[in-house]
Amino acid sequence: MPRILFHLVVPAAISVCLVALALPAGIHAQSDVAKVYKKNCVLCHAADGSGNSSSGKALGAKDLASSEVQKKTDEELTEVIAKGKGKMPAFSAKLKPEDITQLVAYIRAIPKK
Amino acid sequence: MKLTRPIVCLMAAGAVILILSASRDTRAVPSYSRQTGLPCATCHFAPPELTPFGRKFKLDGYVFRTKPEITTEDKDKKTHDSALHLLEAFPLSVVFDTSFTSTSAPQPLTQNGNFQFPQDISLFLAGEWADHLGSFAQVTYTVQGNHFSWDNTDVRYANSHDLFGKPVAYGITFNNNPTVEDLWNSTPAWGFPFTASNVTPSPLAKAVINGTLAQDVAGFGGYGMWNEHLYIGGTIYRSQHLTGTEPNPGTGSPFNIRGLAPYWRIAWQTVTKNNSLEVGTYGMHMKSSPNAITGPMNGYTDWAFDFQYDRTIPQFKNDVLSFRGTYIRENSSLGATFGAGLASLIGHHLNTVQGNVEYHYGTKLSGTAGLFDITGTTDPLLYAPASVLGSANGDPHTNGYILNVSWWPQQNVDLAVQYTGYRRFNGGETNYDGAGRSAGGNNAVFLLARFVF
């Protein structure tokens, strides 16, 4: 490998990545609840709430727009998020009550998208 | 008690009876579990085999959690203060392995029926370090070395955005073993066998990507998974010899990477509720000087293909049937070794085929049958005669099978019985080493008790 590549390009690439590390996590404008959803829910429920992520399919994650989910009351949804249910873990130790309340509202808005 | 073959067979039979009497429900709590609040079985069919969720957890940088953290964040962006995201629970885990190994024929001048308590102890710093930054970092104590040493490590930063209207998860990785950054169990670092004896003879020939460089390199790379289907990754490696002096003088090390050694990985996966399929290719190119950092070089280029298919069977209470396989083609130009009089020709190749099928009975029990076959260029200098470990005819041809049964009475306790059988070893079935040893003499029974906490 040419020496110039080793001495210039590689350190430059590493530097760019380290700068990327230092950048704020969400450089795009995003509401707080959207960030909470992305950080905690997307892994299984997918960005659109469909549950069609690879891990969501394997675990049988619910489609948040489905009537099965939407017919639940806000209190029931809050309890599922806080305490977990089935394969879904509890988030009460991580999320504040107001975050969970906002998530419930976010879930309610999914079918309207 | 003398551990004769009948006694070993009885012990194995006893273990199998225990296994068959097991029920299915299990729980466990290593450091990722402490962080996520999820049982081991969410990420693993059986450790270290990753489920689709486990692969996504790794892809996302080991940072998903449901447990509290110490945090400060300036949401208004009105100050110049940094945010803090720190796990309240320190992400430390322990693996304690104790084992028994017996080969069909004793290795000369050694005692057969080898009991190790422990075989090794590993400490893991495994979990979220900061926002978007996490690790799988392992140090391992072995009885043979009588010290802790750095083991498999993958520290990664991960994030996600949209690309062409589809999600792309991407990140950078610092690691010390080509393929340790991979997501599937069809590549060498996390491939079958998932546990193994450390006292049985190993075949002479091994491709450089097949574990030869494990913990002997330092790598920096990047990866991306587009639309949860297409995975592309690459890492560049330099030599970093454990216990070696720094900067690296090269002496005492068979592989000293000259310049950079690139590793590449392309895989395509599809996941449905009950099926997970992956097909891919990976490989690396390396120029290396044995015992030196200047002068003649050896060149290695490994091309590999792999696949993995996991089938969940709802009719059998979601038991999982897994098929995995890989083929590695190594072309090498051993100019330095030839010049030193340790190879009889410069151009070599090596073909490695590994495949296995595994049935997971719930999360409590798994049985695996694997085959392996190594063939390559015959070279009586490179593969020289030597008692047990050498080759009488210079042929690296080795093949055989591995049978493994693992019982997980809890998700963090593994009791395993493994049998390795050789049909050919280092080019021969009988007197393969020129000292009268047969390939079958290396057949081995391996019993393991592993505790993860």
**What is the per-residue pLDDT for A6?**
60
Q: What is the pLDDT of residue B26?
A: 35
CB contact under 8 A, B222 and A58: no
How many residues appear in chain A? 113
* A58/B64 touch (CB, cutoff 8 Å), yes or no: no
Are the beta carbons of A93 and B68 separated by less than 8 Å? yes
Phi-psi region of B438 (alpha: psi -120 to 50; beta: other; left: phi over 0): beta
Tell me whether B133 touches chain A (CB under 8 Å). Answer: yes
Local confidence pLDDT in tens for the 113 residues of chain A: 556 556 665 666 666 555 555 444 443 446 789 989 998 999 999 999 999 999 999 899 999 999 999 999 999 999 999 999 998 999 999 999 999 999 999 999 987 55
What's the maximum distance between 2 C-alpha atoms anywhere in chain B? 78
B131 touches chain A (CB under 8 A): yes
Q: Give yes or no for residue B12 having a pLDDT over 70.
A: no
The answer to whether residue A7 sits within a structural domain is: no
What's the distance, CA B207 to chain centroid?
Answer: 14
Q: Would you state the pLDDT for residue B80?
A: 79
Cβ distance A90 to B67 less than 8 Å, yes or no, reads no
Looking at residue A31, what is its pLDDT?
A: 72
pLDDT above 70: residue B248? yes
* pLDDT class of B22 with cuts at 50, 70, 90: very low
Instruction: Name chain A contacts of B64, Cβ cutoff 8 Å.
Output: 40, 43
Whether A92 is covered by a domain: the verdict is yes
Q: Which residues of B touch A87 (CB under 8 A)?
A: 42
- What is the structure's pLDDT at B440? 97
Phi, psi of A13 (to 5 degrees): -65, -45
Return the higher-pLDDT residue of B76 and B169: B169
Closest listed residue to residue B422, CA positions, set B111, B104, B12: B104
Between B7-11, B236-240, B422-426, the lowest mean confidence (pLDDT) is in B7-11
Confidence of residue B13 (pLDDT cuts 50, 70, 90): very low
**Is the Cβ pair A94, B67 closer than 8 Å?**
yes
- A6 closest CB neighbour out of B38, B133, B259: B259
Is the CB of A43 inside 8 Å of chain B's CB atoms? yes
Locate the chain B residue with the closest alpha carbon to A96. Answer: B68
Nearest Cα to Cα of residue B228 among B60, B405, B105:
B60
Q: What's the pLDDT at A30?
A: 60
Those residues whose C-beta lies under 8 Å from the C-beta of residue B220, and which sit 6 or more positions away, are A10, A13, A14, B172, B173, B174, B235, B236
| ipTM exceeding 0.85, yes/no | no
CB B222 within 8 A of CB B265: no
Place of tokens 């390559």: B376
Q: What is the pLDDT of residue B244?
A: 84
Domain extent for A87: 29-112
pTM: 0.88
pLDDT in tens, B275-332: 999 999 999 999 999 999 999 999 999 999 999 999 999 999 999 999 999 999 999 9
Flag if B276 and A93 touch (Cβ within 8 Å).
Answer: no
- Domains in chain B with CATH codes: 5-452 (2.40.160.10)
Indicate if the pLDDT at residue B185 is higher than 50: yes
**CATH code of the domain containing A81:** 1.10.760.10
Mean pLDDT of all residues in B184-210: 96
CA B428 to chain A, closest CA, distance in angstroms equals 40
Query: According to the model, what pLDDT value does residue A84 have?
Result: 93
Per-residue pLDDT, averaged over B105-121, amounts to 95
Chain B residue whose CA is closest to A92:
B66
Phi-psi region of B146 (alpha: psi -120 to 50; beta: other; left: phi over 0): left
Asked, for residue A19, whether it belongs to a domain, the answer is no
Contacts of B220 in chain A (CB under 8 A): 10, 13-14
Distance CA B156, CA B65 (A): 16
Q: DSSP of B169-206, one letter per residue?
A: EEEEEEESSTTTT-SSSSSGGGPSPSS--SSS---S--
pLDDT at B205 > cutoff 90: yes
Residue B70 burial (C-beta neighbours within 10 Å; 0-12, 13-18, 19+): exposed
Nearest to B273 among A57, A89, A91 (CB): A57
A25/B contact by beta carbon, under 8 A: yes
Asked whether residue B236 carries a pLDDT value surpassing 90, the answer given is yes
**What's the pLDDT tens digit per position in B428-443?**
999 999 999 999 999 9
Q: pLDDT-derived band of residue B144, with 50, 70 and 90 as boundaries?
A: confident
Q: Which of B14-18, B76-80, B367-371 is modeled with the greatest confidence?
A: B367-371
Residue B28, pLDDT above cutoff 50: no
Does A102 fall in a domain?
Answer: yes
Mean pLDDT of B166-183: 97
Residue A47 lies in a domain: yes
Q: Rounded mean pLDDT of B93-97?
A: 95
Instruction: Tell me whether residue A63 is in a domain.
Output: yes
Of residues B115, B211, B103, the one with CA closest to residue B448: B115
Query: For chain A, what is the domain count?
Result: 1
> Are A55 and B51 within 8 A, CB to CB?
yes
What is the rounded average pLDDT of the residues B196-202?
A: 95
Assigned domain for A15 exists: no
Share of chain B above pLDDT 70, in %: 92
Asked if B312's CB is within 8 angstroms of A53's CB, the reply is no
**What is the spatial distance between Cα B158 and Cα B173, in angstroms, rounded to a whole number?**
9
pLDDT at B67 over 80: yes
Residue of B nearest to A2 (CA): B259
Q: Cβ contact (<8 Å) for A93 and B273?
A: no
Cβ atoms of B227 and B244 closer than 8 Å: no
